[in-house]
Amino acid sequence: MERILVIGAAGQIGSELTLALRKIYGNDNVFATDLRMGPKELIDSGPYYVLDVMDDKRLIHFVIRHRITQIYHLAAVLSGNAEKLPLQAWHINMQSMLNILDLAKEVEDLKKIFWPSSIAVFGPSTPPYQTPQNTVMEPTTVYGISKLAGERWCEYYNLKFGVDVRSIRYPGLISYKTEAGGGTTDYAVEIFYEAVRNGAYECFLREDTELPMMFMDDAISATINLMEAPAEKVKIHSSYNLEGISFTPAQLVAEIRKHMPELAVTYKPDFRQAIADSWPKSIDGSVAREHWGMEVKYDLARMTELMLREIKSKYGK
């Protein structure tokens, strides 16, 4: 029987992934943990603990006491926030993952680790369209540097110690359950909330900034597919490219205006523009499709319709 620990469970991905895992493995077998208290649905549906992943002694104790067999390590400082405090972000992002990789090497029951990478591993010298799985990687953000180093550590622990660590380079994720946590792609979530709450949005990226994105349901399915894939199908232990949809703020606004023609949008690019400009515009996910199967169900139109419907219902509109 699997006993799963989710670290960073209160965040944008964790709050949905934990519930999806509880449906598969049973509520009592999925332990949600975070620095802070999470949404009520998460606390009410299964075990929830406040736990700092940087506290390695408590982490080891927790993993042994609860006989954890898999860890999903989602705690990190995202791209926008990381640029404000680069060394702190580096420390948190790297040390937390090293704590977990080392635990997986030492604790016999602990069989599988999921650690997310990002499109931020790529930089301005990477081919920006249909960015291949293996290509030039010269990130210019501290977040991207930490993700690239993380990928190398994952491969190292797999090669040297046989740790079964699996990883995806998530694109910008769009969801309605939990608001985004300090990244550069956050505009594509914020705009829906502001459209519904105020009918207006000031975008922090230029209107022609194309970025790779994905609706959360597709990202959760991909994550679980990868983690459930037979070991022989997972041939890459650094991280897999994941191909979703690509669009610019202007294209997203046009799609939202099909439902809300009155939406007012202005553009005021800030420091996150330089981060976005350094990232790819679209991703080639053929290797993930070939190795363990990956299906994208949401295009821009379907995602927009669902986001608006769910956020309107959240605000009783």
Does position 285 bind ligand NAD by CB under 6 A?
no
Q: In the sheet where 4-7 sits, what is the strand order?
A: 48-50, 30-34, 4-7, 70-73, 112-114, 164-166
Cβ contact 165:157 at 8 Å: yes
> Which residue from 157, 207, 204 is spatially nearest to 180, judged by alpha carbons?
204
Catalytic (active site) residue 157: no
Q: What token pair was written down for 112?
A: 């599988």
Q: How far is the CB of 179 from ligand NAD (least distance, A)?
A: 8
Report how far residue 13's alpha carbon sits from residue 273's, in angstroms, rounded to the nearest whole number.
23
Does position 94 bind ligand NAD by CB under 6 A?
no
Alpha carbon distances (Å) from 299 to 77, 99, 180: 28, 37, 20
Find the part of the chain contacting ligand NAD (CB under 6 A) among 132-140, 151-159, 182-190, 237-245: 182-190
Cβ-closest position to ligand NAD: 11
Question: Which is nearer to ligand SER, 33 or 185 (by Cβ)?
Answer: 185
Residue in 25, 48, 129, 143 annotated catalytic: 143
Q: How far is the CB of 120 from ligand SER (least distance, A)?
A: 5
Report how far residue 113's alpha carbon sits from residue 115's, in angstroms, rounded to the nearest whole number.
6
Question: Which is nearer to ligand NAD, 8 or 46 (by Cβ)?
Answer: 8
Report how far residue 187's alpha carbon sits from residue 210's, in angstroms, rounded to the nearest whole number.
12
Question: Which is nearer to ligand NAD, 115 or 292 (by Cβ)?
Answer: 115
Report how far residue 196's alpha carbon sits from residue 188's, in angstroms, rounded to the nearest whole number.
13
Candidates 76, 101, 256, 311: give the one binding ligand NAD (CB under 6 A): 76
> Which residue from 78, 77, 71 is spatially nearest to 21, judged by alpha carbons?
71
Q: Are strands 211-215 and 245-247 parallel, antiparallel or unpaired?
A: antiparallel
Given ligand NAD, ligand SER, none, residue 89, with its beta carbon under 5 to 8 Å by kind, binds none
Question: Which is nearer to ligand NAD, 98 or 260 (by Cβ)?
Answer: 98
Given ligand SER, ligand NAD, none, residue 13, with its beta carbon under 5 to 8 Å by kind, binds ligand NAD
Q: Please give the residues from 21 up to 60 whose contact with ligand NAD meets the rule CB under 6 A.
A: 34-36, 52-54
Which residues are near ligand NAD by CB under 6 A?
7-8, 10-14, 34-36, 52-54, 74-76, 78, 116, 118, 170, 172-173, 180-183, 185
Residues with a catalytic annotation lie at: 143
